[in-house]
Structure 1
Amino acid sequence: MMTVTEAFVDSIALNAAAAKNGRDLVKKNSFAALNQSEDGTLLFGACKGSGKEPYRCSADFAKPESPVYRCSCPSRQFPCKHVLGLLYAYAQGRAFENAAVPDDIAEKREKAEKREEKREEKRQAEAEGAAEGAAPRKKTNKAALAKKIAAQLEGVELARKLALQIAQGGIASVDAAMVRLLERQMKELGSYYVPGLASSAESLVSLLRRAEGREAVYTEAMDQLTALYALLKRSANYLNARLADPEQGPDAATVLEERIGHAWQLAELREHGRAAKDAELAQLAFYSYADEARGEYVDEGLWLTLQDGAVVRTVTYRPFRAAKYIKEEDSFFQVAEAKELFAYPGGLNPRVRWEESRMRELTTGDIGRIAASALTSLAEGLKLVKNELKNPLALKRPALLLRARRLTAVDGGGYALEDEQGGRLALGDLGGALPPTAGLLELLAPGQLADVAVLVMFGHDLDAGRLTAQPLSIVTGEEIVRLTY
């Protein structure tokens, strides 16, 4: 069985309130029974509830990388507070009595094993077919695909007219009445299978919706309008090419499909070679924000893959209406051992995801590997960032892990990163969703400012016409100092 710690239980709780409720159950001695199987792979118990009968909850670690949580309570939050309480009790050293696995769980285990056997047989058959050069390929329904692409092209044209209205009238002329008209037009985009384009248009209109300080958003609005127009142009060219050649598969090399609105399935990513076995990841930074335009909370983590030193992202979207039922991500201080790591199409910092994982403690050896992954040349890093930002579809705020000979205070306040070649990079705050961190550097000890690796997020300051670089974390030889978490 995997090691169950309080940090692990915190990591699987949907939100802070669920974790607190689980801890409270332990404090109040709400568990009438606490049991574990002889082999230690199953924890189960009975917890007092609002009715006469206690709730039966369990945590099944037959597959440590993919635990199964069960409870007889009616809660739609999962894992519920009873399962969390059961795990907190175990992590805190409460006494668990050995007992036989309940019949209903034994039956569910047996069914799960049979399903896994069938999946494994299917995977082996596909692998054998691929080795023989005859891997079965899902047949494309050309008529259905052509109908969908035609609808998407209509959506692209509708969004293009919307952008053209704004451009022809000028951003300054967009008043409250114009915003209402644009909002009505955007609602129509929901019928054309282009949710990504609709979100981009909504983000622009949301910016223009600000009645006060309109001058302050001119530059940003113009940048968004330019990016939207470029996205629409590329989308139209791409969709027309797919319509002409239905056998042409989706573009798995760029973010275009996702920006149009395609939701990549894990099987698709695996088919396109965007999956890696047994990956290890360490989180370097984490932050959350509310995206009012999309109507959702966004939890974003920046990680480093220990195998190849790439900086990647995890992103969780929690719609406002359903936020309490979706797991709220948080800072992660261990190493995640992903059985299979999936990478979405992207540039410098592709979004990644995994389904099954275990966690282990971060060691000084891991920290050394992280520090050794940093780019030693600031000039090389800036070149990568500038090439990324030239692409209108790329991530607007890419991140790099840079080696710093030192972080030094500069005249007039603030700090600069200096590399081994003497190159210097001024550090500041990007603003927006990212909390300020540059001012925290003055609180660090001298040993945390010399011969370190620094995770830096870049942004293009449109008004000043230059790059802004914000420090997010500092990696010394022994620790990771997080400036945002």
Structure 2
Amino acid sequence: MKGNTMISITEAYVDSLAINASAMKNGRDLAKKKSFPMLGKSIDESLIFGECKGSGKEPYRCSVDLVKPDEPVFRCSCPSRQFPCKHILGLMYAYAQGDSFVTADIPADIVEKREKAEKREEKREEKKNEPQGEVSPKKKKTNQAALLKKIAAQLEGISLLEKLIHQLTQAGLGSLDKKTLKTLEDQSKQLGNYYIPGLQIAFRELLLEIGSANDLKDKESMYSAIVEHLGILHTLVKKSRDYLTARLDNPDTPIDIETTLEERIGHAWQLAELREHGRVRSGAELVQLAFLSYTDQARSEFVDEGYWVDLRSGRIDVTRSYRPFRAAKHMREEDSVYQVVMPQELFMYPGEINARVRFEEAALRDVVEGDYVQIATAAHKSFPEAIKLVKNQIKNPLSDKHPALLLSYTEIRRVDDGYVIVDGQGKSIMLADVAFPDRATTPLIPLLNKQVVHNQALLVLFGHDRQTNRLQAQPISIVTPDEIIQLLY
């Protein structure tokens, strides 16, 4: 945005606001088809507004208010449950693409809304300045009417998802052809209107898994995984409904910040929220142990993922950036980092063994030999204790089934047709490619220098082998006293 505001309305910024790929496409189409007969902006360009052709006689009136650049306000007269709706997205795309906006006075209704917002802000400031000994009679509350409306829509969407699952199971896995799967995929797009993008993605993952199985000659080998996926989806639907129903009955029930359920439903955590709930830490020193980019077809996004160890705490956390297919060319792709990253603030998403983390600003320094020693010190020395941690996590149907741990080993040993790592007590863990079917790392083990197959630390991703009913681990990176050897890219 030009003028006195602090935010730049670019196509990438608008892409980041879209609730899903469908909303992004619809917004772009409106701008492309010149569906805005009127486009206006304030003199200081803190407000853009317009009228968009709709299905009725009257156009939809939409605006983007950036009087507070860090807290943009979106308004639209349409009845859509999506927010921001396609009309707001289209308005911003039109601005970002350089369409002509006429300079005009700020509409009277928006002037009035700004004045009311200023009064509310003044009242908040007055409460902040009250003497510390006095207790304010009222707590700051969320907009309960909007919250209840959103939760009701989410529950409606869950009911629709259950119908789709019932259709799928009633047809029988063996009889699902490409045409039926395409029909279910098209029907699942309706879920994008109910604020449950996470549940929508989970259903699409199931459809993609079934489609992959149908392309195989040996379909039976995939059916156990599909049935397991169905069970997980059933649990997710049940827990989501129970959680949202409880919040609908009591809107003052706090949001779940301990588990990943909110994110699995589709909540996109904002940094301000994480800070408000105390999910931020300072003083972290992060070293990247592995980095990879991959395609998530269910999300229609590219994913950039990094595994990091905190030199201070020894935690293994994950950074994860999403680039929608349609917006990828406008977004910066993440890359490997070979220095120690020292964030001003490290934000932690709800999670388990490996929390997702994020940082905005950070200082960098070179890695020194002492850092590698510090990393090795944080590795788990006892395999039975590490396995207990993993089992406690993956027994929860909604938990990450491929947690990452750093293990201290005395030897990488060949057994039969495979390899194991051995701890100081002689306990072993089988190495296998369990997490990334298209990225094998165990075949690289014979290529390792003989010096690194003894007494080092190994970052692994765990997985459960259904045939043997045992845990296996995929080797990702080896940490030696003077380097990190990455097996996965």
Residue 161 of structure 1 aligns with an amino acid whose one-letter code is K
1:278 is paired with a residue whose SS is coil
What's 2:327 paired with?
322
What's 1:157 paired with?
159
Given that 1:127 and 1:135 are in contact with CA atoms closer than 8 Å, whether structure 2 keeps it comes out as no
Of residues 363, 370, 394, the one that matches 1:365 is 370
Q: 1:166, CA displacement in angstroms?
A: 2.2
Residue 149 of structure 1 aligns with an amino acid whose one-letter code is I
Q: Are residues 206 and 127 of structure 1, via their aligned partners in 2, closer, same or farther at CA, if it must alter by over 3 Å?
A: farther
Given that 1:437 and 1:483 are in contact with CA atoms closer than 8 Å, whether structure 2 keeps it comes out as yes
Distance in 1 of aligned mates of 2:129 and 2:449? 54
Residue 203 of structure 1 aligns with an amino acid whose one-letter code is E
Q: 1:278, CA displacement in angstroms?
A: 2.8
Residue 185 of structure 1 aligns with an amino acid whose one-letter code is Q
Which string of whole-angstrom CA distances, capped at 9 and with x for unpartnered residues, describes residues 353-380 of structure 1? 0011121111111111110000111001
Count, aligned residues = 363
Of residues 314, 333, 347, the one that matches 1:342 is 347
Given that 1:309 and 1:370 are in contact with CA atoms closer than 8 Å, whether structure 2 keeps it comes out as yes
| Deviation larger for 320-329 or 430-439 | 430-439
Given that 1:254 and 1:346 are in contact with CA atoms closer than 8 Å, whether structure 2 keeps it comes out as yes
What's 1:303 paired with?
308
Correspondence 1:461 to 2:465: yes
What's 1:241 paired with?
246
Q: Are residues 161 and 314 of structure 1, via their aligned partners in 2, closer, same or farther at CA, if it must alter by over 3 Å?
A: same
Distance in 2 of aligned mates of 1:260 and 1:440? 38
Distance in 1 of aligned mates of 2:290 and 2:436? 16
Q: 1:461, CA displacement in angstroms?
A: 2.2
RMSD: 2.4
Correspondence 1:271 to 2:265: no
Which string of whole-angstrom CA distances, capped at 9 and with x for unpartnered residues, describes residues 73-125 of structure 1? xxx9xxxxxxxxxxxxxxxxxxxxxxxxxxxxxxxxxxxxxxxxxxxxx99x9
| Deviation larger for 207-216 or 469-478 | 207-216
What's 1:470 paired with?
474
Given that 2:435 and 2:461 are in contact with CA atoms closer than 8 Å, whether structure 1 keeps it comes out as no
Q: 1:414, CA displacement in angstroms?
A: 2.8
Given that 1:338 and 1:354 are in contact with CA atoms closer than 8 Å, whether structure 2 keeps it comes out as yes
Q: 1:229, CA displacement in angstroms?
A: 0.6
Given that 2:402 and 2:435 are in contact with CA atoms closer than 8 Å, whether structure 1 keeps it comes out as no
What's 2:194 paired with?
192
Which string of whole-angstrom CA distances, capped at 9 and with x for unpartnered residues, describes residues 151-194 of structure 1? 10011111122222223332112222321331132011011110
TM-score, normalised on structure 2? Answer: 0.70
Given that 1:219 and 1:463 are in contact with CA atoms closer than 8 Å, whether structure 2 keeps it comes out as no
Q: Are residues 170 and 464 of structure 1, via their aligned partners in 2, closer, same or farther at CA, if it must alter by over 3 Å?
A: farther
Which consecutive unaligned segments of at least 5 residues does structure 2 have? 1-95, 97-123
What's 2:143 paired with?
141
Residue 198 of structure 2 aligns with an amino acid whose one-letter code is G
Given that 1:404 and 1:419 are in contact with CA atoms closer than 8 Å, whether structure 2 keeps it comes out as yes
What's 1:10 paired with?
none
Of residues 436, 439, 447, the one that matches 2:451 is 447
What's 1:405 paired with?
410
Residue 425 of structure 2 aligns with an amino acid whose one-letter code is Q
| Deviation larger for 129-138 or 372-381 | 129-138
Of residues 403, 425, 430, the one that matches 2:429 is 425
What's 2:181 paired with?
179
What's 1:168 paired with?
170
1:224 is paired with a residue whose SS is helix
What's 1:220 paired with?
225
Q: 1:136, CA displacement in angstroms?
A: 9.5
Of residues 410, 414, 417, the one that matches 2:418 is 414
Given that 1:400 and 1:457 are in contact with CA atoms closer than 8 Å, whether structure 2 keeps it comes out as yes
Q: 1:126, CA displacement in angstroms?
A: 7.4
What's 2:264 paired with?
259
Correspondence 1:482 to 2:456: no
| Deviation larger for 335-344 or 173-182 | 173-182
1:345 is paired with a residue whose SS is coil
Distance in 2 of aligned mates of 1:173 and 1:435? 31
What's 1:332 paired with?
337
1:279 is paired with a residue whose SS is coil
Q: Are residues 372 and 273 of structure 1, via their aligned partners in 2, closer, same or farther at CA, if it must alter by over 3 Å?
A: same
Q: Are residues 433 and 278 of structure 1, via their aligned partners in 2, closer, same or farther at CA, if it must alter by over 3 Å?
A: farther
Given that 2:373 and 2:481 are in contact with CA atoms closer than 8 Å, whether structure 1 keeps it comes out as yes
Q: 1:463, CA displacement in angstroms?
A: 4.0
Q: 1:302, CA displacement in angstroms?
A: 0.7
TM-score, normalised on structure 1? Answer: 0.71
Q: Are residues 431 and 129 of structure 1, via their aligned partners in 2, closer, same or farther at CA, if it must alter by over 3 Å?
A: farther
Residue 158 of structure 1 aligns with an amino acid whose one-letter code is L
Residue 359 of structure 1 aligns with an amino acid whose one-letter code is L
What's 2:359 paired with?
354
Correspondence 1:383 to 2:385: no
Distance in 1 of aligned mates of 2:208 and 2:385? 36
Q: Are residues 134 and 364 of structure 1, via their aligned partners in 2, closer, same or farther at CA, if it must alter by over 3 Å?
A: farther
Deviation above 6 Å: which 4+ runs of structure 1? 125-136
Which string of whole-angstrom CA distances, capped at 9 and with x for unpartnered residues, describes residues 347-406 of structure 1? 111100001112111111111111000011100111111111111111121110011111
Q: 1:127, CA displacement in angstroms?
A: 12
Q: 1:277, CA displacement in angstroms?
A: 1.4
Distance in 2 of aligned mates of 1:428 and 1:127? 61
1:139 is paired with a residue whose SS is coil
- Percent identity over the alignment? 48
Distance in 1 of aligned mates of 2:187 and 2:470? 35
Given that 2:435 and 2:462 are in contact with CA atoms closer than 8 Å, whether structure 1 keeps it comes out as no
Given that 1:389 and 1:395 are in contact with CA atoms closer than 8 Å, whether structure 2 keeps it comes out as yes
